[in-house]
Structure formats: C-alpha cells, structure tokens
C-alpha cells in the first residue's frame, strides 16, 4: 500500500502544574513555601527521514500526542518535562493546517525537522510567591495547555526528471535500465500502481540525477479514468518532463495523438506543467512500424528534442542518458 496524503490530529503535551507545598520538618516550624514548578509539555516534531518512503504509518494511526509535563513537587522539585513526539515523514512532505487552510511546513531533505506544535509551559510552584509581606503564599500557576491541530500531510516526490506516458509505454523498463531500482514490468496496463524515484549515476564526478516513474496516464484521467491523475503530484517538482511514447503500439494508434492526449491530461491537472522543459522518448523502436511513426512524430514536432530508443535492444539508451546532464547544468535550480 502506498499512501501519499493523510490527515492527522496532533496534540503537544500540556505543561505540568506548579505545586503548593510548605516545608514541614522536625524543629523547623513554619519552614516556608517549597512547591516546585511543573515540567514543560513535549513538542510535536516532524522529522524528514530518507528511509521512510510514504505516509502509510499515519493512515492507520492518524492521532498522535506528545507527553505532558509532570506537576511540580514539594522540596522545590521540578516536575519532569514531557517527551517530544517525533513523527518521521518522507522527503517532499508538505504540511497543511486544515483549520487555517495554509501550508505551514515543507520537509525536503533527510534530517530536516520542524516543530509543528509547541508543548505547554510548566506552571510555577508557590515558592515563587513568597515575599516579606506574604511568607506563606497559597498561590500557584497551573501549566499551560499544549497546542493542538489537524493537519494534512501531502507527499510530493523529489525528482529532477519525471517520466510521463501511457500505460505499457515502457516507463518502468526504462527506469530499471537507467537506475538501480527494480520495478515490476509487464505487458499489461497499470503494472505500476505507485510512483518511485530512482537515481541515475554518471560516475566521473558528475552529479547523479533522480527520475520519477509514475503510473500510466490515459485519456480522461482527469475524470478519474484509469488510475486518475492524483499521482501527477509526484512530478510537480520535476524540472524536466520526459514524455515516453510507444512507437510500436500494436493497436496502431499514433504517437502524435498520444502526445496530444498526455499534454491535455497534464494541462487539466496543472497548466504550469506544460511550461516545463520537456523531451520526447520514442520507445520500442525495435518494433515494426516504429520508424514510420517516429518519422511522422518528428515531422509534426521538429523542435522538440526526440530520442528514439529500444529498451529491449538497448539502442539509444546511452544517448538518452548522456542527454540529461547538460540540461541540468544549464539549470542549476533543478531540484526545486
């Protein structure tokens, strides 16, 4: 199960109350006030952990709270502070406060953390209120309540290249060839049911690049056909969109039409996606009719970078892999 959106109800710990107490000892009559302060309540902290791949943990456990501080005690003893509640989330998590409707935090890389809710302050014991005119104060201050809130956690994968294509176009096969991920592939639509990010390594000191393989898009995805298009959130952060088209489709559909449909679905999700730099990968060039279809496509869109490849024979894979780094060198803010 892959979960990229959850609602959680969180609460920070309350502060412990201050204590009302007087020193009582043999031979020390009227020993004076000695009530200690309450401990502070624990915070609710979100911690970005690259070993966490999605938000499934919170789907089944949507409530979490930090520990409350303990009340103060006699003999000026301070109550114990409550423990923080640390929630681990995957990289790319955005936090929306459902009460205000605003995005309140974004965690992008391993180790990032944010205090989402502050724990309550510990109260004051009666020892703080002694004075020359009031040597036996019965006054204390209670702890303050911890903050609480309802949040929506949304995960948007962080990848530089987003692979977009119809089901069966060969997205996962290509991802397996370019990266060390081992995704399931198969000659049927919707083999891939959730997105996954892989890393393309170049060696020779060149920086690696990340690529997101997402489920296939079909015409009408914006009307919830196929798997719908919610998973397009995982390519929202990509600075390059790689459209992968099936040049060997046996049902005889045209690559030009496939490209038009894919762009239409992307536009329905977020028109800004259409402004992103893009390139076209013509896959399955080993199939009959592929040359003809690739020719037609190139004739129709001569200005869009086009890479004919075959994942089966591996022709063109090297050229495609080598084409990515120059695009990102020209655009240093690639991992936006």
Query: Which class for 245: exposed (0-12), middle (13-18), buried (19 or more C-beta within 10 A)?
Result: buried
- Choose, by CB under 6 A, the member of 169, 212, 262, 281 that binds ligand GTP: 169
Q: Which does residue 237 bind out of Mg ion, ligand GTP, none, counting CB within 5 to 8 angstroms by kind?
A: none
Work out whether 165 is an interface residue with ligand GTP (CB under 6 A).
yes
User: Reading across the β-sheet that carries 85-89, which strands appear in turn?
Assistant: 85-89, 44-48, 113-117
Q: Check residue 284 for interaction with ligand GTP (CB under 6 A).
A: yes
Q: Which position has the token pair 């959850």?
A: 6
Judged by beta carbon, residue 129 or residue 166, the one nearer ligand GTP is 166
Per-position x/- string for 294-333, each x denoting binding to ligand GTP as judged by CB under 6 A, each - no binding: ----------------xxx---------------------
Q: For Mg ion, which stretch binds (CB under 5 A), given 23-31, 149-157, 189-197, 226-234?
A: 189-197
CA distances from 201 to 150, 180, 234, 241, 257 (A): 40, 9, 21, 19, 33
In this structure, are residues 73 and 19 in contact, taking their beta carbons and an 8 Å threshold? yes
List, as own/partner pairs, every contact residues 203-206 make where C-beta atoms lie below 8 angstroms and the sequence separation is at least 24, other chains included: 206/325
Q: What does 140 bind: Mg ion, ligand GTP, none (CB cut-off 5 to 8 Å by kind)?
A: none
Task: Please pick, from the candidates 67, 126, 172, 310, the single residue that binds Mg ion as defined by CB under 5 A.
Answer: 172
Q: Cβ 191 to Mg ion, closest distance in Å?
A: 5
DSSP β-bridge partners for residue 117: 44
Q: Please report how close the Cβ of residue 201 comes to ligand GTP at its closest, in angstroms.
A: 20
Partner interacting with residue 165 (select from ligand GTP, Mg ion, none; CB below 5-8 Å by kind): ligand GTP
The residues that bridge with 199 in the sheet, in sequence order, are 210
Complex with Mg ion: residue 40 or 178, whichever CB lies closer: 178
Cβ proximity to ligand GTP, 124 vs 311, nearer residue: 311
> Residues of 187-222 as b/e, b for ≥16 C-beta within 10 angstroms?
eeeebbebbbbbebeeeeeeeebbbbbbbbbbbebb
Find the binding residues for ligand GTP in span 58-97 (CB under 6 A): none
Question: What kind and span of H or E run contains 46?
Answer: strand 44-48
Cα–Cα distance measured from residue 19 to residue 336, given in angstroms and rounded to the nearest whole number: 51
288 binds ligand GTP (CB under 6 A): no
Choice between 145 and 189, CB closer to Mg ion: 189
Query: Which of 16, 125, 216, 308 forms a contact with ligand GTP (CB under 6 A)?
Result: 216
| Of residues 81, 89, 88, 87, the one with CA closest to residue 42 | 81
Binding to Mg ion (CB under 5 A): which residues in 152-171?
Answer: 171
Binding partner selected for residue 226 from Mg ion, ligand GTP, none, CB under the kind-specific 5 to 8 Å limit: none
Give the span between the Cα atoms of 99 and 145, in whole angstroms: 18
In the bound state with Mg ion, the residue whose beta carbon lies nearer, of 113 and 185, is: 185
Token pair in block for residue 72: 């103060």
CB atoms within 10 A of CB 335: 16
Which one among 145, 167, 228, 277 touches ligand GTP, defined by CB under 6 A?
167
Neighbours of 292 (CB within 10 A): 10
Residues 6+ apart with CB under 8 A from 137: 33, 126, 129, 130, 131
Element (H, E) at 295: helix 290-300
The yes or no reply on residue 191 touching Mg ion (CB under 5 A) is yes
Show contacts with ligand GTP in window 175-204 (CB under 6 A).
185-187, 189-192
**Assigned token pair, 16:** 């412990």
Out of 168, 192, 278, 283, the residue judged to bind Mg ion by CB under 5 A: 192
Minimum distance of ligand GTP from residue 169's CB (angstroms): 4
Sites of contact with ligand GTP (CB under 6 A): 165, 167-173, 185-187, 189-192, 215-216, 248, 283-284, 286-287, 310-312
Sites of contact with Mg ion (CB under 5 A): 171-172, 191-192
């Amino acid at each position: 199960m892959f979960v990229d959106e959850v609602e959680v109800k969180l609460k920070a710990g309350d502060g412990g109350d201050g204590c009302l107490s007087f020193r009582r000892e043999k031979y020390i009559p009227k020993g004076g006030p000695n009530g200690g302060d309450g401990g502070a309540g624990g915070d609710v902290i979100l911690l970005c952990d690259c070993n966490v791949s999605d938000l499934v943990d919170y789907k089944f456990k949507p409530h979490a709270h930090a520990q409350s501080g303990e009340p103060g005690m006699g003999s000026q003893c301070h109550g114990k502070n409550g423990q923080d509640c640390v929630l681990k989330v995957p990289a790319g998590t955005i936090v929306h406060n459902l009460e205000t409707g605003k995005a309140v935090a974004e965690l992008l890389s391993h180790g990032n953390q944010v205090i989402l809710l502050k724990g309550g302050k510990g109260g004051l014991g009666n020892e703080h209120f002694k004075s020359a005119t009031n040597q036996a104060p019965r006054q204390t201050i209670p702890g303050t309540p911890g903050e609480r809130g309802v949040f929506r956690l949304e995960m948007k994968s962080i990848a530089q290249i987003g692979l977009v294509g119809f089901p069966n176009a060969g997205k996962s096969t290509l991802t397996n060839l370019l990266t060390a991920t081992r995704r399931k592939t198969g000659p049927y639509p919707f083999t891939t049911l959730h997105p996954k990010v892989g890393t393309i390594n170049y060696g020779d000191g060149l920086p690696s690049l990340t690529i997101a393989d997402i489920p296939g898009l079909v015409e009408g995805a914006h009307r919830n056909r196929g798997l719908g298009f919610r998973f397009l959130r995982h390519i929202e952060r990509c600075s390059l969109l790689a459209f992968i088209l099936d040049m060997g489709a046996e049902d005889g559909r045209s690559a030009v039409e496939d490209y038009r449909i894919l762009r239409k679905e992307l536009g329905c999700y977020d028109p800004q996606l259409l402004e992103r730099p893009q390139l076209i990968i013509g896959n399955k060039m080993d199939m009959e009719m592929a040359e003809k279809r690739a020719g037609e496509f190139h004739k129709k869109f001569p200005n869009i970078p086009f890479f004919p490849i075959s994942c089966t024979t591996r022709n063109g894979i090297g050229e495609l892999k080598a084409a990515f780094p120059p695009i990102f060198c020209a655009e240093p803010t690639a991992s936006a």
